[in-house]
Amino acid sequence: MKNILIIGAGRSSSSLIKELLSTSIEHDWKVTVADINLQLAQEKTQDYSTATAAQVDISNEDELSKLISNHDLVISMIPARFHILIAKICIELQKNMLSASYVSPDIETLNDSAIKAGIIILKECGLDPGIDHMSAMKIIDDLKAKGCKLTGFESFTGGLLADNYDENPWEYKFTWNPRNVVIAGNGVCKFLQEGKFKYIPYHKLFSRTELIHIPDHGYFEGYANRDSLAYLDVYNLRGIKTMFRGTLRRKGFSKAWNVFVQLGATDDSFEMENVEEMTHRDFINSFLYYNPNDSVELKLAHYLNLEIESDEMFKLKWLGIFDEERIGLDKGTPAQILEHILKKKWTLKSDEKDMIAMWHKFDYIENGIAKQIQSHMVINGDDQVNTGMSKTVGLPLAIAAKEILLGNINLTGVHRPIQKSIYDRILPELENHGIKFIEREIEL
């Protein structure tokens, strides 16, 4: 009998837990769901005889080690900063480990130790990173096998609201960690375009977007991710002319979001004063010049050269940032305060569904002819719990766990799901869950 441990029972774990519990019945496996909130773990496991709920304090290393020692495979769904601790324990106890989070430099240093321990530490096996890696590498490997020369690769992913939510002018709500949305793009974005290294500083990021069309779903805009150049080596694409990874939003989102960036409202480097007395309106006004005779709306419009009746101002008013409503925090950085305000309007309601969209573009030369493949995937959530984000993050992990325990994936060391032996196992099963890519070839 195999024993699986899932650490973290939050919303992003919902589909992972559900799928593994279903799988456990078929294979007579036992699944333990552990969380610092025991009630949350119990809610996720109460309907399954093969499941056990447990309470765990990550800061208690002895308690964590004891829990891990009783399992064959560990899936970590807690914040990435704790993964190095879990990975080291898994190596010591010779237990396989999976996670959706990025491979950090400290995790990379564990590769030799993981090989010696005979275990796999599989990271970046969720949505983005994860499904993006697998779906891209499948096409890249196929093109190389046919002798084609890849000249350009672009990839965009977005967690959005499902189609037809017209009452929300942003067509957006939080489907993942809100903090990551608020501080997205901080720093300098780096990418390769037509053989030239390009850089976009944070204050220009949301004014430099690309228009992308996804068949049957319309037009989206994409802005650059922080570091596309790192994937030249991950995907073995040194020598390619264009390498660009980005994030998808609905049309018009970036111009409105850029207002917060230009104001400094996404700054996370200092704490503001008198936050406990601050209203939404006070928060915005604190970034504007002093003029007791002009309204906050007028000062903002003048400061950023916006029309008072512009689409950007309409979106801001809809968010309630000009309201005389108390923020509801005792302290915070501008980014933390903005996140708190946004949650009031950008939290999914029970009758709302999210949508995940992913789009790839491959430019290549085949027999001297320039061609292009466009590949896209769109999937909606079922409800507030079984979201599209939960599916696309959790299902690849669940499938990978099953394949490892069945001996179909038997690599050791630290890995991303970029090898054919991994993605050929996971992608077909994802299709059975509706996570399917549609490709079209274009002759340029």
Q: 276-295 pLDDT, tens per residue?
A: 999 999 999 999 999 989 99
Question: In angstroms, rounded to a whole number, what is the distance separating the alpha carbons of residues 180 and 176?
Answer: 8
CA distances from 289 to 22, 292, 302, 330 (A): 59, 10, 10, 24
- Buried-state track 364-376, b at ≥16 Cβ within 10 A, e below 16: beeeeeebebbbb
Flag residues of the chain having pLDDT under 50.
none
How much is the pLDDT for 165? 66
Q: What is the pLDDT of residue 384?
A: 79
- Asked if residue 151 lies in contact with residue 363, where contact means CB atoms within 8 angstroms, the answer is yes
Q: 180-210 burial, b if ≥16 CB within 10 A, otherwise e?
A: ebbbbbbeebbbbeeeeebebebeebbeebe
Crossing angle of helices 253-263 and 311-319, rounded to 10°: 70
For residue range 321-350, list pLDDT tens digits in order: 999 999 999 999 999 999 999 999 999 888
Tokens for 204, please give them.
Answer: 């220009």
What pTM was computed for the model?
0.93
State which fold the 3-127+387-435 domain adopts.
Rossmann fold (3.40.50)
Shortest CA distance to 120 belongs to which of 432, 444, 422? 422
Domain ranges of the chain: 3-127+387-435
pLDDT at 166: 65
